[in-house]
């Protein structure tokens, strides 16, 4: 393949890729991104260098190469998201070029190498790797894996140890690369197995440390060496390789039928390069195929060598549009989540800048894609001082903070994408009525409440709230969101209302939708009261939600 044709091919790949993924620049950071930016800000370069050369397993899962990306861009680009995506896109296109070079080194012709590189460039399992900065670890690891393969295939096996080490220091899945090199030596190489010893020594060093490290608590990162775990991961990843249920398994009989060792290497490489991910059934993500797709590119290249150029063209005429349809679907979901997070972070920044005296903050709800560590990082990005405490309302620490004389609450309304801040004023009277969509102070909600959702708040089987009974109050009302799932599961909701421990009786909600019921309020003095809601029968959702629930409360309080 002439240099001119090669340049034209990669220009076409780059232009098509950037055109299809131009909307990625409208995205925003994930909670992991925010946490990485905060954790690496101000870290000394020598710390990254020390971890880079250390043969010890990082207790904190510190990945010096990938985390250095956050250290550099956090300092130079701040929260300018397009810069981070630009780096990802450049990295992915560089990997496409390296895949092409690896295929040529393995003996693929121009057509086969272009086919394999093109498949790698546009495979939708990799979508997150060039839309979300948090997957720079996967894209970066792939870069060093490909550099290792290029150096090794050129006979510079000792030099190849350097990018192999960097690959592991970018992401731990590189620990499986020596097995892939072993397969190469056995199927295609000179069977000089001794030169693989230093590679296996590195992998065994880190692998044994990981396996022998004391496990204090179970987590999604805990290895499950069971048949059930393997079936879960096999079912998932085999369905993502060719974007159809279990379709990846079809590659095995195809490879066997074609009797080409290079295709065998590619198909086996998909499985091998997944490495330890086979035993993490609670951490299954399509983007984790980014590195194993190198194996698919190898297999595809040599299948393309066995068929006519017309067949290759027909395949890509079908493959690229079908991937683009998947991209459009993923794009919509990703941008919607990104816009929620962006609104949350921007409003957080404005509030933190305006109120430098805030030291304790309890947040009441957040965008669905933001976990507690991401929410906390959003605040601490704008307030680096360590004295800022940030806790969720449904945590023990958050509940304790709400009892303090000075605390600020942040209530998130996902429907309006509005973050409402309220600072506690000592001695201020509680309201008589609360509408959940209005961003009420979190300190009103005593035990038994979950975080805010879209205009309602789930209560536990029993929940209490601090209100003020006004003079002349004759009614107490509770409006709930009786959703379709709860209606299907139980058919009705029965609530008891108690004011300062005195029961007002039980009312039933029997219709799906947003409905209000009333309780008569006996005569008595006005003033602060504690209202308790009690579900006669606790609700256990059938959708897998582990929380014991009562009802989704939209509003409650006294009326005249």
In this structure, of 326-340, 381-395, 530-544, the range with the lowest mean pLDDT score is 381-395
DSSP structure string for 133-160: GGGHHHHHHHHHHHHHHHHHHTT-TTTT
At residue 220, the pLDDT reads: 77
pLDDT tens sequence across 233-272: 999 999 999 888 999 999 999 999 988 999 999 999 999 9
Q: Indicate the pLDDT class of residue 216, thresholds 50, 70 and 90.
A: low
At residue 386, the pLDDT reads: 67
pLDDT tens sequence across 449-460: 988 888 899 999
At residue 549, the pLDDT reads: 94
Please determine, looking at this structure, whether the domain spanning 431-560 carries the CATH number 2.60.120.260.
yes
pLDDT tens sequence across 73-92: 999 999 999 999 999 999 99
Q: Given a cut of 90, is residue 18 above it in pLDDT?
A: yes
Nearest-angstrom CA–CA distance, 560 and 558: 7
How many CB atoms sit inside 10 A of residue 127's CB? 22
Residues of the chain with CATH 2.60.120.260: 431-560
- What mean pLDDT, rounded, does the chain reach? 91
Nearest-angstrom CA–CA distance, 69 and 134: 10
Element (H, E) at 315: helix 309-354
Q: Indicate the pLDDT class of residue 182, thresholds 50, 70 and 90.
A: very high
Residues 6 or more apart in contact with residue 551 via CB below 8 angstroms: 458, 459, 480, 482, 486, 493, 495, 509, 533, 535, 539
pLDDT > 90 in the chain, percent: 73
In the sheet where 462-469 sits, what is the strand order?
Answer: 462-469, 527-535, 493-499, 502-509
pLDDT tens sequence across 111-153: 999 999 999 999 999 999 999 999 999 999 999 999 999 999 9
Residue with tokens 């005429």: 317
At residue 222, the pLDDT reads: 82
Report how far apart, in Å, the C-alpha atoms of 416 and of each of 367, 423, 533, 555 are: 11, 21, 27, 17
At residue 429, the pLDDT reads: 84
Q: Given a cut of 90, is residue 102 above it in pLDDT?
A: yes
Report how far apart, in Å, the C-alpha atoms of 240 and of each of 138, 172, 296, 422 are: 16, 21, 12, 46
Q: Indicate the pLDDT class of residue 49, thresholds 50, 70 and 90.
A: very high
522 vs 59 pLDDT, higher one: 522
Q: Given a cut of 90, is residue 358 above it in pLDDT?
A: no
At residue 332, the pLDDT reads: 93
At residue 132, the pLDDT reads: 95
Q: Helix/strand/coil (H, E, C) string of 167-221?
A: HHHHCHHHHHHHHHHHHHHHHCCCCCHHHHHHHHHHHHHHHHHHHHCCCCCCCCC
At residue 1, the pLDDT reads: 67
Determine the average pLDDT of the residues in 418-447: 85
pLDDT tens sequence across 295-345: 999 999 999 999 999 999 999 999 889 999 999 999 999 999 999 999 999
């Amino acid at each position: 393949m002439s240099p001119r044709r090669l340049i034209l091919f990669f220009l076409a790949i780059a232009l098509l890729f950037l055109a299809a993924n131009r909307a990625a620049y409208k995205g925003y950071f994930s909670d992991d991104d925010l946490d990485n930016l905060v954790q690496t800000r101000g870290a000394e370069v020598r710390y990254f260098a020390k971890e880079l050369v250390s043969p010890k397993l990082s207790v904190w899962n510190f990945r010096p190469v990938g985390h250095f990306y956050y250290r550099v861009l956090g300092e130079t680009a701040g929260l300018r998201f397009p810069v981070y995506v630009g780096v990802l896109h450049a990295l992915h296109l560089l990997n496409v070029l390296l895949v092409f070079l690896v295929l040529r080194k393995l003996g693929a012709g121009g057509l086969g190498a272009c086919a394999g590189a093109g498949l790698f460039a546009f495979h939708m399992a990799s979508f997150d790797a060039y839309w979300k900065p948090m997957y720079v670890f996967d894209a970066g690891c792939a870069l060093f894996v490909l550099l290792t393969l290029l150096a090794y295939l050129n006979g510079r096996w000792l030099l190849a140890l350097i990018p192999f080490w960097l690959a592991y220091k970018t992401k731990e899945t590189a620990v499986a690369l020596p097995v892939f090199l072993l397969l190469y030596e056995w199927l295609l190489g000179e069977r000089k197995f001794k030169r693989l010893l230093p590679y296996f020594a590195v992998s065994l060093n880190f692998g044994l440390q990981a396996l022998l490290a004391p496990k204090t608590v179970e987590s999604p990162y805990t290895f499950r060496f069971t048949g059930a775990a393997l079936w879960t991961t096999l079912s998932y990843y085999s369905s993502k390789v060719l974007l159809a249920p279990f379709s990846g398994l079809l590659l095995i009989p195809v490879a066997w039928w074609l009797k080409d060792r290079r295709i065998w290497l590619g198909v086996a490489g998909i499985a091998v390069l997944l490495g330890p991910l086979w035993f993490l059934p609670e951490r299954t993500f399509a983007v984790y195929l980014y590195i194993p797709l190198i194996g698919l590119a190898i297999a595809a290249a040599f299948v393309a060598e066995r068929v006519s150029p017309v067949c290759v063209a027909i395949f890509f005429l079908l493959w690229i549009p079908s991937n683009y349809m998947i991209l459009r679907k993923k794009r919509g979901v990703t941008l919607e989540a990104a816009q929620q997070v962006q609104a949350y972070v921007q409003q957080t920044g404005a509030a933190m800048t305006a109120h430098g005296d805030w030291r304790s903050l309890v947040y009441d709800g957040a965008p669905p894609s933001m976990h507690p560590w991401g929410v906390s990082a959003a605040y601490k990005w704008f307030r680096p001082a360590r004295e800022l405490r940030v806790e969720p309302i449904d945590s023990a620490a958050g509940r304790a903070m709400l009892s303090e004389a000075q605390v600020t609450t942040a209530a998130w309304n996902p429907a309006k994408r509005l973050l409402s801040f309220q600072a506690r004023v000592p001695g201020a009277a509680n309201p008589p009525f609360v509408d959940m969509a209005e961003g009420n102070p979190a300190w009103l909600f005593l035990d038994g409440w979950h975080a805010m959702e879209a205009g309602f708040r789930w209560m536990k089987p029993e929940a209490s709230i601090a209100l003020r009974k006004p003079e002349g109050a004759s009614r107490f009302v509770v409006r709930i969101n009786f959703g379709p799932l709860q209606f299907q599961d139980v058919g009705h909701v029965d609530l008891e209302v108690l004011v300062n421990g005195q029961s007002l009786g039980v009312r039933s909600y029997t219709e799906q939708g947003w409905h209000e019921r009333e309780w008569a309020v006996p005569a008595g003095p006005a003033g602060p009261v504690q209202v308790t809601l009690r579900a006669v029968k606790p609700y256990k959702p059938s959708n897998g939600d582990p929380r014991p629930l009562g009802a989704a409360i939209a509003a409650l309080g006294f009326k005249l």
